[in-house]
Structure 1
Amino acid sequence: MERLQPLIITIFGATGDLTHRKLLPALYMLYSQQLIPDNIRVYAIGRRDWSEGEYCDQAMQQLAGFLKDRPQPIDIEQFLAHVHYRKLPFDADAAAYQAFGRQLDADEKTLGQRAVRLFFLATAPEYFDVIARKLTQAHIMTKGDLHGRILIEKPFGESLETARQLNRALTGLLSDEQIYRIDHYLGKEMIRNILAVRFANGVFESLWDKEHIDNIQITLDEQIGVGTRGGYYEQSGVLRDMLQNHLLQMLSLVMMEPPATLGAQDVRQAKKDVVKALRLYTQQSARSDVVLGQYGPGNGMKGYREEDRVQEDSQTPTYVALRAQVDTPRWQGMPVYLRTGKRMPRSRAQVVVEFARPKDVPPYAAFAGVPPSLLVIEVQPADGLRVAFNAKKPGSALATQRAQLDYCHSCQYGGNVPEAYETLLLDAYLGNGTLFADWEEIEASWAFVESIQPAADYAQYPNYAAGSEGPEAATQLLARDGRRWHDVEPPVTA
């Protein structure tokens, strides 16, 4: 087996929820499968006055819980022997960062060669440029040296202008190739599978245009409310929390042109071309083509304005549905409908492609009113594909019935498919930037989201009950076009 390049990963914000729920379990799975070096160093950076033993004891409890349904080929203790807690305020003085840098240099000397240094910033966004500046000032990272890579979680800025400010700050310190902007949805198996479904199957890609597709619908619903994140959500709302990143990332993969190669540069170029081609809303189109909502009390659940740390007269939207246009030759004139919301009846993420009725086939009376053919890409909770089509009923009459072909992705592997952060952390270690967001794509997505603002100026909240399907206006949005939302339930799996 080829020897893996040494890896030192430093997690800033290592006492937080993201680290315990996602990052440490992902690193354990990569380590146990020998996808990362067996002499890995993991530095957990926090501001709490904990000993290394106290941190690992807590991590042990958390990991045991989160990994209970996953294979555990090695003892968790064996992995945690590589985890080291360090108390280091994010805005600490130069001496503290320089001391940490000497520790990393000593590690590399022990390892016998230079290591890939990953720095995961699981912190509040206001610390992103602070930590990056401290790391470069202490010469822990150097601009242009690709051994050092920084990983940043969404949100990337709070607006178009703050995103630009953050990008200027980071690219002044590091090269763009060293900055990995994470949207964890891009690490999900069925999101990645979109590339294979489209480009490895002529049956789909040959029909992948406005001539053969009537519309595309992308849904990302959450059954939960804001929970304990009311303070954060008041500042972000659904547009910044979900639309600007997850939904537009899904849209870009579904609607991009075939890239020249499947390499990082070509895929990212194809994705950002889609987002840059999104038609911005005018004041008039924002009011007609965008529906914003906020959940009120219903079905035994409290409304958004009753949630902890939420203003009693809050105007923050928790739901959005919209009609968008991608102005490229392949898609111009074909609508794509996006929707996402909290306190929905179910949690799901799916893409529904509604194929157009064939123009060169006569309108046979026997087939009048049959539903359209659909391709459904299930992202979560199920992960797989479904093709829904019409077939003849048994008997002498030429009557039709609904039929479907199902593919369950995780079922093929006994449920043992990589979690999103396993994929993203491994790609970052290997230097594969394919599934990380490009700055120009982020910039274009912020411009699109900010063009929606006129719709917020006229919204009246609350306008849907918790546990309902969302605002009635979202149904009318499609009804005006002679269409409807396809509420496709995921298949029941054993």
Structure 2
Amino acid sequence: MQNEKVALFIIFGGSGDLARRKLYPSLFRLYQKGYLDQHFAVIGTARRPWTDDYYHQIVTESLSDLQATDEQVAAFASHFYYQSHDVTNAEHYVVLEELAKKLDQKYELQDNRIYYMAMSPNFFGTIAKHLKSEQILTEDGFNRLIIEKPFGHDYQSAKELNEQIRASFAEDQIYRIDHYLGKEMVQNISAIRFGNNIIESLWNNRYIDNIQITLSEALGVEERAGYYETAGAMRDMVQNHISQIATLLAMEPPVSFSATDIRHEKIKVLRSLHIDTPEEARRNFVRGQYGPATIDGTRLEGYREAEQVASDSKTETYVAGKMEFENYRWAGVPFYVRTGKRLAKKATRVDIVFKQLPMNIFKTVSDDDKLGDNVLTIYVEPTEGFGLRVNAKRLGQGFETRPVDLDFRHSAAAAGNSPEAYERLLLDALNGDSTNFTHWDELSQTWKFADVIEQVWAETTPTDFPNYASGSMGPEAATELLARDGRHWIYDPTQALPKE
């Protein structure tokens, strides 16, 4: 088949939640589309003493929500093999290599191997070391390592982890996954910027007043409470997902749409990211923790009531703050970011707010006699599309103006048929395309940025936690953060929409 990819996947953590929820369904979708066919195999490893047959059952169950025939699922699952594996035991890697060689011959895999770290980051360095020392890395085919976050706990731990992995893999063999970079509308940021002269010509501090990035979640921490207690919203969302989106919005046009040129521009703009002083961090960043609330007769528990969470936990479930890029294009333009658990509505979106005209010659519907903000919105999820808010004449006599939204959304059917983020990124890794993965130089800059804020927070104990109710849009301090600059959050689902 023309598009068929040839490779052996070795998934460390093959029995885990990530593998079941994301990796197996994504691999199956690639199989349905012909990217994987006869010449692929998967080895799942974990401590559990499973058989191949039981492993096939697990893989089959993970595909229950997908449209497929029993015959197709069985054929797909037959390519999966299981090995009970202790990642710290060198002898287990010898057995792993024997199985890998056997499958390479059986499926004609050309020594192409993808190693997927779907387990605790504490073992990443150990696994990488043994892959090299036990000579599992092949000489003739490709060897690519996919790593999940969290990549370190701070800059120093990330640097040490990177050095451990680089002892076995070159930088161009390492694929640090950030699944937000696989989302349709995050990838569309580049298309709307660099594919439209009307947009790119206005994409600077002469015309843009501020940019707002919102990653709002309606659910609480749920079963991730144990992890969340060690991470918090800053490490879980801001240092990686939000920083990557901000980078795509802020970077200069690349020479070409290639991994090398895009990475060059991303690294360059991140070097211009202002690292706050401790005093600036106190002023520019707000943290919060959700408390209980009763909505429509249903009680929602507070963060401190969740299992594995201390009754006096100081872990933040909400962050809002201001990022600034010190370069010619963005000087004076704040990037306001926020993310939180148990907020009013699930939404990931970017709002680009344009500057006001120097004067208003019209009457307006609003009380302050100001024109409404021109806003370009990129809807990432749950709906996907674009919106542009402009001012137009109100229907009827006179020349009062009002904001009008020009809106485009992908249909549910189109969005449903679009590749899921992990599907896109797995195919990119098979193709050796690192465009939508994170380079160490990017990570190092975002960790340095986040570390200052984390250090300031570590030195001061929040006395007002919990400081926002479940179902709200976060603490009042987040609203005050923008009000202090004479601005406001564009997206607020708790406010009623104005009526015509």
Same fold (TM over 0.5): yes
Q: Structure 1 CA distance, aligned partners of 2:140 and 2:325?
A: 37
Tell me if the contact between 1:275 and 1:445 (Cα under 8 Å) persists in the aligned partners.
yes
Tell me if the contact between 1:280 and 1:451 (Cα under 8 Å) persists in the aligned partners.
yes
Match of 2:360 in 1: 363
Deviations 1:254-305 (A, max 9, x none): 1111111111011112112222221111122111111111112222222212
Q: What secondary structure does 2:270 align onto?
A: helix
Tell me if the contact between 1:291 and 1:455 (Cα under 8 Å) persists in the aligned partners.
no
Q: How does 1:349-428 map to 2 (within 5 A)?
A: 349-359=348-358, 362-366=359-363, 368-411=369-412, 413=414, 415-428=416-429
Q: Structure 1 residue 308 and structure 2 residue 307: aligned?
A: yes
For residue 476 of structure 2, the aligned residue among 462, 472, 475 is 472
Match of 2:186 in 1: 191
Unaligned residue ranges in structure 2 (runs of 5+): 495-500
Distance 1:274 1:410, change over 3 A: farther
Q: Structure 2 CA distance, aligned partners of 1:123 and 1:5?
A: 25
Q: Structure 1 CA distance, aligned partners of 2:178 and 2:69?
A: 27
Q: Structure 1 residue 130 and structure 2 residue 126: aligned?
A: yes
Distance 1:138 1:257, change over 3 A: same
208-217 or 276-285, larger mean C-alpha shift: 276-285
Match of 2:345 in 1: 346
Q: Structure 1 CA distance, aligned partners of 2:113 and 2:479?
A: 49
Tell me if the contact between 2:240 and 2:446 (Cα under 8 Å) persists in the aligned partners.
yes
Distance 1:71 1:250, change over 3 A: farther
Match of 1:295 in 2: 290
Deviations 1:156-196 (A, max 9, x none): 00111100000011111111111110111101111111111
Tell me if the contact between 1:276 and 1:445 (Cα under 8 Å) persists in the aligned partners.
no
Q: Structure 2 CA distance, aligned partners of 1:377 and 1:273?
A: 24
Q: What secondary structure does 1:64 align onto?
A: coil
Q: Structure 1 residue 221 and structure 2 residue 223: aligned?
A: no
Q: Structure 2 CA distance, aligned partners of 1:121 and 1:289?
A: 35
Q: What secondary structure does 2:223 align onto?
A: coil
Q: What secondary structure does 1:217 align onto?
A: strand
Q: Structure 2 CA distance, aligned partners of 1:470 and 1:414?
A: 29
Match of 1:63 in 2: 63
Q: Structure 1 residue 46 and structure 2 residue 46: aligned?
A: yes
Q: What secondary structure does 1:75 align onto?
A: helix
Distance 1:416 1:216, change over 3 A: same
Q: Structure 1 residue 81 and structure 2 residue 83: aligned?
A: no
* Aligned-pair CA distance for 1:113: 5.7
Tell me if the contact between 2:5 and 2:40 (Cα under 8 Å) persists in the aligned partners.
no
Tell me if the contact between 2:55 and 2:80 (Cα under 8 Å) persists in the aligned partners.
no
Q: Structure 2 CA distance, aligned partners of 1:195 and 1:294?
A: 34
Q: Structure 2 CA distance, aligned partners of 1:472 and 1:384?
A: 29
Q: Which residue identity is paired with 1:213?
A: I
Tell me if the contact between 1:410 and 1:416 (Cα under 8 Å) persists in the aligned partners.
no
Q: Structure 2 CA distance, aligned partners of 1:74 and 1:407?
A: 39
331-340 or 107-116, larger mean C-alpha shift: 107-116
Q: Structure 2 CA distance, aligned partners of 1:27 and 1:3?
A: 14
Deviations 1:384-412 (A, max 9, x none): 11111111122231122322222223547
Deviations 1:188-236 (A, max 9, x none): 1111111111111111111100111110000001111111222211111
Match of 2:456 in 1: 454
The number of residue pairs the alignment matches comes to 483
Q: Which residue identity is paired with 1:210?
A: N
Q: Structure 2 CA distance, aligned partners of 1:441 and 1:238?
A: 19
Unaligned residue ranges in structure 1 (runs of 5+): none
Distance 1:414 1:216, change over 3 A: closer
Distance 1:421 1:73, change over 3 A: farther
Distance 1:414 1:383, change over 3 A: closer
* Aligned-pair CA distance for 1:3: 6.4
Match of 2:336 in 1: 337
Q: Structure 1 CA distance, aligned partners of 2:413 and 2:26?
A: 21
Q: What secondary structure does 2:417 align onto?
A: coil
Q: Structure 1 residue 174 and structure 2 residue 174: aligned?
A: no
Distance 1:132 1:379, change over 3 A: same
Tell me if the contact between 2:10 and 2:43 (Cα under 8 Å) persists in the aligned partners.
yes
Q: What secondary structure does 2:438 align onto?
A: coil
Match of 1:484 in 2: 488
Q: Structure 1 CA distance, aligned partners of 2:3 and 2:221?
A: 45
* Aligned-pair CA distance for 1:71: 7.0
Give identity over the alignment, percent: 40
176-185 or 364-373, larger mean C-alpha shift: 364-373
Q: TM-score by structure 2 length?
A: 0.92
Q: Structure 1 residue 116 and structure 2 residue 118: aligned?
A: no
Tell me if the contact between 1:384 and 1:409 (Cα under 8 Å) persists in the aligned partners.
yes
10-19 or 459-468, larger mean C-alpha shift: 459-468
Q: Structure 2 CA distance, aligned partners of 1:416 and 1:5?
A: 21
Distance 1:170 1:322, change over 3 A: same
* Aligned-pair CA distance for 1:332: 0.9
Q: Structure 2 CA distance, aligned partners of 1:57 and 1:112?
A: 25
Q: Structure 2 CA distance, aligned partners of 1:152 and 1:472?
A: 37
Q: Which residue identity is paired with 1:47?
A: R
Q: Structure 2 CA distance, aligned partners of 1:97 and 1:487?
A: 51
Distance 1:328 1:412, change over 3 A: farther
Q: Structure 2 CA distance, aligned partners of 1:281 and 1:466?
A: 30
Match of 1:201 in 2: 196
* Aligned-pair CA distance for 1:363: 2.9
Distance 1:365 1:457, change over 3 A: farther
Tell me if the contact between 1:32 and 1:72 (Cα under 8 Å) persists in the aligned partners.
no
Q: Which residue identity is paired with 2:215?
A: L
Q: What secondary structure does 1:84 align onto?
A: strand
Deviations 1:428-447 (A, max 9, x none): 00000000001011000000
* Aligned-pair CA distance for 1:483: 0.7
Moved segments of 4+, more than 6 Å:
71-74
* Aligned-pair CA distance for 1:467: 1.8
* Aligned-pair CA distance for 1:108: 2.5
Tell me if the contact between 1:248 and 1:275 (Cα under 8 Å) persists in the aligned partners.
no
Deviations 1:58-100 (A, max 9, x none): 22122113x2xx577972222111111221122222x321222
Distance 1:489 1:7, change over 3 A: farther
Q: Which residue identity is paired with 1:138?
A: E
